[in-house]
Amino acid sequence: AQSVTQLDSQVPVFEEAPVELRCNYSSSVSVYLFWYVQYPNQGLQLLLKYLSGSTLVKGINGFEAEFNKSQTSFHLRKPSVHISDTAEYFCAVGHNDMRFGAGTRLTVKP
Amino acid sequence: SAVISQKPSRDICQRGTSLTIQCQVDSQVTMMFWYRQQPGQSLTLIATANQGSEATYESGFVIDKFPISRPNLTFSTLTVSNMSPEDSSIYLCSVEDPRSDRGSGYTFGSGTRLTVV
């Protein structure tokens, strides 16, 4: 069965600093990988997804993620964060269904 | 992608009662999924509902507590039975985009925020 592990439960950063949210996956078959964002009291919004092809995936709001098969990782990055990026971020893996990581709470401070 | 209408958006219920959540999709989909998101937690898959067969439940979830119906390819319901305060969560339905390869595209409903008092 597939699963994902988000290595950091909370990541505090200052505005305009770079950020990396870490995600490792485990699967015995080829899978698809996703990053979702959830703003306070709102639903899930897809940031980006990796299906195949280029290992560097660009998403919305300036986020990107890199699929690394040898390290079974799919870390999310943004070169310069804004206050408005404060939210919960979920890494997920899809195959027959979708499984989510525990989430990383990104807090951007002024 | 598919558009999901999930109702109710929120409810406050008395313990011991049951609540049925509806999920309507604007296109025919094979796979429908129900998730629970407890306060401050991630999403946990409750069950997978396929039309014409019984739902498949994940470990820790049972049909008596969370009965699911899937009468056709555009509709499903999840019932939270004999509720207790521990059932207070957001419940979300999700579908697999029929125009995507298997496992590559999902759409989520806006969720039902349930509070049990």
Q: Which residues of A touch B (CB under 8 A)?
A: 31-32, 34, 43-44, 49, 51, 90, 94-103
- Residue-wise pLDDT for B74-93, tens only, equals 999 999 999 999 999 999 99
Domain that holds residue B43: 4-116
The enclosing domain of B16 has a CATH number of: 2.60.40.10
Residue with structure tokens 């019932």? B79
CA distance B9 to chain A (A): 11
Report the relative pairing of strands A104-109 and A10-14 from DSSP bridges.
Answer: parallel
Residue B31 and residue B79: Cα distance in Å, rounded?
A: 18
The minimum CA-CA distance between A96 and chain B, rounded to whole Å, is 6
Point out the residue among B44, B103, B111 whose CB comes nearest to the CB of A96: B103
Number of domains in chain B: 1
pLDDT in tens, A52-105: 888 999 999 999 999 998 999 999 999 999 999 999 999 999 877 889 999 999
Name residue A69's amino acid.
K
* Tens digit of each residue's pLDDT (9 = 90 or more) over B3-43: 899 999 999 999 999 999 999 999 998 889 999 999 888 99
Angle subtended at Cα A21 by Cα A16 and Cα A22, rounded to the nearest 5 degrees: 155
- For B5-25, b/e burial (b = at least 16 CB within 10 A) is ebeeeeeebeeeeebebbbeb
pLDDT reading at B102 higher than 70:
no
Superfamily the domain A3-109 falls into? Immunoglobulins (2.60.40.10)
Neighboring chain B residues of A94 at a CB cutoff of 8 Å:
103-104, 106
Domain chopping of chain A, boundaries: 3-109
Spatial distance between the Cα atoms of B1 and A8, rounded to a whole number of angstroms: 31
